[in-house]
Amino acid sequence: MTAHIAHHLKLQSRRINKDMAQKEPALLLTEPQTSRVLEMDLQNFPETLVQNISDAIVVSDADGIIRFWNSGATRLFGFSATEAIGQSLDIIIPTNLRKRHWDGYSETMKTGKTKYGAGDLLSVPAIRKDGQRFSTQFSILGLSDDSGKLIGVAAVMRDVTEEFEERKNLKIALAECRKARQDQTSKP
């Protein structure tokens, strides 16, 4: 199977190289470079990606109990996998947002439907192990059993605190500019 995939990738890379060489000759991959890329151990790639990607990946079951926690989640939230797995999602949800979260989570598990579509990015506050509150952005994927029943959720999260603060400051500055402009235009 791996040999078949490698052969397919090699053919595909030759086609891509040919197209790229016509547009930008400096981007052409040589045969030895292509071979080195294909020598990678792709069998372990999915596991390596999920475990080591910088984004947090957290999987919870239908009851909101954490069942998977990658190294990105450890960096983001401060809990080790050993500390987090088996705990409620409450360890990362600010107290004042828990009721709203659990209402939505329970409804999603009960109906199998979420108001968030594929590709939607959600932005919510979260908390770290040390109690620090920060802004996250994440996408979710419902996990179903063989019968199609929703049995859990996987979330891919990242810290967007800097971007959130930057946007907030830009909105404030824009409002001040608009007010100053309005004040200037309303003077006789």
- pLDDT tens for each residue of 59-99: 999 999 999 999 999 999 999 999 999 999 999 999 999 99
Distance CA 51, CA 74 (A): 11
Residue 175, in any domain of the structure = no
Per-residue DSSP letter, 30: P
Residue 176, in any domain of the structure = no
Range of the domain at 11: 2-40
Distance CA 3, CA 186 (A): 74
pLDDT at 24 over 70: no
Domain check: are 125 and 159 in the same one?
A: yes
Give the total number of structural domains in the chain: 2
Domain check: are 8 and 79 in the same one?
A: no
Q: What's the sign of the alpha-carbon dihedral 19, 20, 24, 29? A: negative
CB 47 within 8 A of CB 132: no
For residues 51 and 2, the model is more confident at 51
